[in-house]
Amino acid sequence: MVRRIKERRSYYMVAIGLGFATLAGESSFHPVTDHPAAPPEIQATRSRAFLSSFRLPDTLTFAGQQVPLDHWDVRERIEYEFYQFLANEGDSIILAKRTGRCFPPVEKQLAEAGLPDDLKYMLLVESKCISAAYSRAKASGPWQFIRSTGKQYKLRSDQWRDERRNLEMSTDAALKHLRQLQEEMGDWFLAMASYNTGEYRIKKLLKEQKVNEYWKLHHVRETMYYVPRIIAAKEIYSQPEKYLGLTASDLYQPLETETVTVEVTETRRHLTSVAEEFGTYFLELKLLNPEIRREYLPKGTHRIKVPKPTCTSGCSQQDEDPT
């Protein structure tokens, strides 16, 4: 059973940090003049009223299934999430920018697995495309696997390495899990709800309430709004120019990396040494390899990502497989 983040604000730390940095950078010194200049006029590009200029479409589909917007409570649940995304415009812009980097590898894996491309929008709700995301329920990574479910799909998690944080490896596991849930539940909406709270709980509630579809199922608030939030995310983040004024060039671009093999013959090797070998630095190596939990690599053979343009040695050891 996969359990994950229950509070939507968990991953706003970057934005908060930027806010603190801005405050720290402000000066308290203001020169006194006889005729202080008038502050420059700020031209607001949008007012709060801009929210009402957007309307949820009359028809929506997800993973090839029609969303029953003609039912009042379904529309209201999705509209709530739709306007929540738009109201938090700064967070939504950053999230949209991240899709330029985290979506391409996931889209490739979805296509290879023959699964609906729409499933990539689950990442925005699960972890906000943050590889190092970690929840109170101890779910980790972009797809928010708990340790036991990750182990079921052969994701290593120990003191040195947490493969739940590796985007490609965790995506492979998530797609296998989602395929299994869809085959078991017979419906993508129920499959996603099961991903959120567990298929056994969903089956139990369906039986108790004598219903056979997600949209008629009463559940805890998180699961009732989980699928609507994913659907709202698809509507907004598939059209960032329409809703957020962003073009493709505004999105964060995929990083050019090489996957190389590193042999550690001693007891352990510091990542600074590894970074220097491949023409990069400690922080960048950690950011490119969020699954590495320590500052060291233990004795053995390791595959890691390094920046492609700065790979200065060991490049003959490159692997094709990015994981």
Could you report the per-residue pLDDT of 191-234, keeping only the tens digit for each? Answer: 999 999 999 999 999 999 999 999 999 998 889 999 999 999 99
Q: Domain locations in the chain?
A: 50-250, 257-317
Contact yes or no for 63/185 (Cβ under 8 A): no
Contact yes or no for 138/5 (Cβ under 8 A): no
Higher pLDDT, 96 or 137: 96
Contact yes or no for 2/149 (Cβ under 8 A): yes
d(CA 235, CA 10): 23
Q: What is the pLDDT of residue 89?
A: 92
Residue holding tokens 């809703």?
Answer: 243
Mean pLDDT of 279-300: 97
Q: What is the pLDDT of residue 35?
A: 42
Contact yes or no for 286/133 (Cβ under 8 A): no
Q: Please determine, for residue 39, whether its predicted confidence score (pLDDT) is greater than 70.
A: no
d(CA 126, CA 111): 20
- pLDDT tens digits, 238-247: 999 999 999 9
d(CA 155, CA 173): 8
- pLDDT tens digits, 133-149: 999 989 999 999 999 99
What value does the mean pLDDT of the chain take?
Answer: 86
**Percentage of residues in the chain with pLDDT exceeding 90?**
77
d(CA 168, CA 323): 6
Predicted confidence band at 121 (pLDDT cuts at 50, 70, 90)? Answer: very high
Q: What is the pLDDT of residue 51?
A: 76
Tell me the β-bridge partners of 297. Answer: 269
- pLDDT tens digits, 254-275: 999 999 999 999 999 999 999 9
Mean pLDDT of 108-116: 99
Contact yes or no for 143/174 (Cβ under 8 A): yes
Q: What is the pLDDT of residue 49?
A: 58
Q: What is the pLDDT of residue 48?
A: 53
* CA-based nearest residue to 274, from 260, 291, 293: 260
**Dihedral of the alpha carbons of 107, 109, 111, 117, in degrees to the nearest 10:** -40
* CB-CB neighbours of 79 under 10 Å: 15
Q: Which of 5-14, 24-33, 66-75 has the highest mean pLDDT?
A: 66-75
Q: Please determine, for residue 187, whether its predicted confidence score (pLDDT) is greater than 90.
A: yes
As given in the structure block, the two tokens for residue 193 are: 């709800």
| H-helix or E-strand spanning residue 144 | none
Higher pLDDT, 54 or 52: 54
Choose the CATH number for 50-250 among 3.20.20.370, 1.10.530.10, 3.40.50.150, 3.20.20.80.
1.10.530.10
Residue holding tokens 């400690």?
Answer: 282
The string of DSSP letters for 270-313 reads EHHHHHHHTT--HHHHHHH-TTB-SSEEEEEEEEEEEESTT--S
* CA-based nearest residue to 94, from 206, 13, 189: 13
Higher pLDDT, 121 or 30: 121
